[in-house]
Every structure is written in structure tokens, then in C-alpha cells.
Amino acid sequence: MKVLANDGVSQSGIDALEKAGFEVITTKVAQEQLINYINEHEITVILVRSATKVRKDIIDACPSLKVIGRGGVGMDNIDVAYAREKGLHVINTPAASSASVAELVFAHLYGGVRFLHDANRNMPLEGDSKFKELKKAYGSGVELRGKTLGVIGFGRIGQEAAKIAIGVGMNVVACDPFVEKASIGIDFFDGQRLDFEINTVSFDEVLGQADFITLHVPAQKEYVIGKEQFDKMKDGVGIVNAARGGVIDEVALVQALDTGKVAFAGLDVFEKEPTPEVQLLMQPKLSLTPHIGAATGEAQDRIGEELATQIISILKTENV
């Protein structure tokens, strides 16, 4: 049986699949050529991340497909319900990259409160001629310790962000319509473990109480954060979106940055990927990364191994 890892898969995942007798193909096939490629090569499993879309046209036109795998959490690039109606297995790896995304959130937060994203632009250009001026410009940083982190969406990734926040010494407030409370367990290097129970509050309470906000919600039809929500936040709030493009109104965000309502923001995802709006790219109060939340070696190994385990379990069981 053949597995097409169209958006790539870790070597550990490849090794596990090949050991189980699968042929793994890592050729990158263009979206418009996928149907022909899958049929010509009799692909049984297609693995994707966020780039490749598996819609009804592929599902209907490719009878050899039995499994669609998404390396990561969100499956908005797959017609999941339709695929399952047609008898295909649709799998993902919701927990594998949670820690990596949460760490990126804090990379943006730490960079934002100490102006690292802007200092790293200007020091190479003017560090030798305007050192004192830059020192003064970046000399009003703040600490995360003692501040309140608002977590919008309190699933796996939101809870991982809460773990880091607690370790930093932050207060955590969270909202999620599907989570009433969560037990946050933190494991330490010496084997000790501490558990913290966090009860979720209303969306408006998070907006009003948080010094910094991080979003961990799936793709939405409407903005989660727009002008109305920015108006409810504290002046000088910091906000990070490493969830999905389109959950923040980017026009309203730029306006809030311009007025100082939002002190800084970190974006790993954008409404118009892979061509973000130039107003975002040129905004000095924005810390920007190109959708790399899950892009760590450790996360990719976990994703590949977890996909391999599920594929082997599904297809080997069916062929018994």
C-alpha cells in the first residue's frame, strides 16, 4: 500500500510506515494534479498539513483512497464529514504539536514586551550609529511575571499555554464554551508535579481582565476579535494569534495598534496566507512568523509517529 505525504512527514514516521510494509512517497504534487497522481499511483493514504486541500472532488475521483491524515490539529482543509460518509478514515494528531505552538506564543510574548522583533530589525541597520537612541527606545519593557494571560479557547494548546504562564508566574483567565474547568498539571525536572485547577469564565471577562491575550480556536465564519472586542480590552494589551488566520479582524488590529489600544501583537497565521497584507508586514508593533507553530523537530517526530501508528492500526486491521 502506498502513502503520499504531500506536505511532508518526519523520517521517524516514514521509518515506522516502511517497517510495517507501506511505501511512502514524499513527492510534492500540485493541488490541480493530485487526482491524476493518486489514481495513477493507486495511493491508499494521503497525508497533508495545512497546504494541501482534500475536498469532495478528490474524495469522489480517487477510489483507491482509504485514509486521509492531517499532521496537526485543525482539519478545515479537509471535507471531513463528506469523507467519512464515503467510508474513508480521517485522522489527525491533535496533541502532538500543542507544546510547540504554546512555546511559540511565549516567544512572541517575550519578544513583544522587550521589543525584540523591532530591535532585531534596527540593530543591524543602526546599532553602530544610534546605539544610545535605540537603547532609549527599547528601554521601557515590562515583565510577564505577575500579569494576567487571557486564553481564548481552552483545549489542548490553550492549556499548554496556561502551563507556561503558570510557570512564569502569571495569572491565567480562560474562556471556552465547551470547557467548564481544566486541571493543569506541571511536571518538573526533579520528578515533582503540581496540579492547578482553572475554571473558565465568560469571553467578556477574559477581554476585560487580561494584560495579554492568546487565541486557540478553530477557523470561524466570523471574527472572534474585532473592533468591538478590542474596545473591551485594557489599554496597552498584547495579543498573539497562533491559531488560524481569520479569527482576528486584521484591519481592526492595525487600527488598534496605531492608536495604542494594543501595545503589540504576534501573528503566526494570517487571513491571506501565503501572501499576508503589506500593512501587517510593515507594522513595527507586529511580531511576525510564517505559520511555524508546529514546526519543531520534536513536534514533527511526534506527528509522524502518531500518524503512522493510526494508519497501521486502521489498514492492518482491515486486512486481517
Dump pLDDT digits (tens) for 179-197: 999 999 999 999 999 999 9
Whether 258 and 133 map to the same domain: the answer is yes
Whether 78 and 179 map to the same domain: the answer is no
Confidence label for 72 from pLDDT (cuts 50, 70 and 90):
confident
Whether 222 and 111 map to the same domain: the answer is yes
In the set 103, 205, 271, 273, the catalytic residue is 273
In the set 117, 156, 216, 244, the catalytic residue is 244
Whether 260 and 205 map to the same domain: the answer is yes
Whether 117 and 234 map to the same domain: the answer is yes
Whether 57 and 120 map to the same domain: the answer is no
Q: How far apart are CA 270 and CA 268, in angstroms?
A: 7
Domain count, the chain: 2
Query: Is 108 an annotated catalytic residue?
Result: no
Q: How many CB atoms are closer than 10 A to CB 216?
A: 29
Whether 39 and 68 map to the same domain: the answer is yes
Query: Is 145 an annotated catalytic residue?
Result: no
Query: What pLDDT does residue 319 have?
Result: 62
Whether 73 and 149 map to the same domain: the answer is no
Residues 250-270: pLDDT tens digits? 999 999 999 999 999 999 999
Whether 59 and 165 map to the same domain: the answer is no
Residues 264-292: pLDDT tens digits? 999 999 999 999 999 999 999 999 999 99
Query: Is 273 an annotated catalytic residue?
Result: yes
Q: How far apart are CA 90 and CA 302, in angstroms?
A: 18
SS3 201: coil
From its phi and psi, is residue 224 left (phi > 0), alpha (psi between -120 and 50) or beta? alpha
Q: What angle do CA 76, 52, 63 make, to 5 degrees?
A: 95
Whether 136 and 259 map to the same domain: the answer is yes
282 Cα distance to chain centroid: 22
Whether 276 and 150 map to the same domain: the answer is yes
Query: What pLDDT does residue 148 have?
Result: 98
In the set 216, 291, 302, 305, the catalytic residue is 291
CATH code of residue 44: 3.40.50.720
- Mean pLDDT of the chain, nearest integer: 96
Q: How far apart are CA 155 and CA 94, in angstroms?
A: 10
Whether 269 and 143 map to the same domain: the answer is yes
**pTM metric for this prediction:** 0.90
Domain that residue 261 falls in: 98-288
Q: How far apart are CA 71 and CA 96, in angstroms?
A: 9
Query: What pLDDT does residue 74 have?
Result: 81
Query: What pLDDT does residue 318 have?
Result: 67
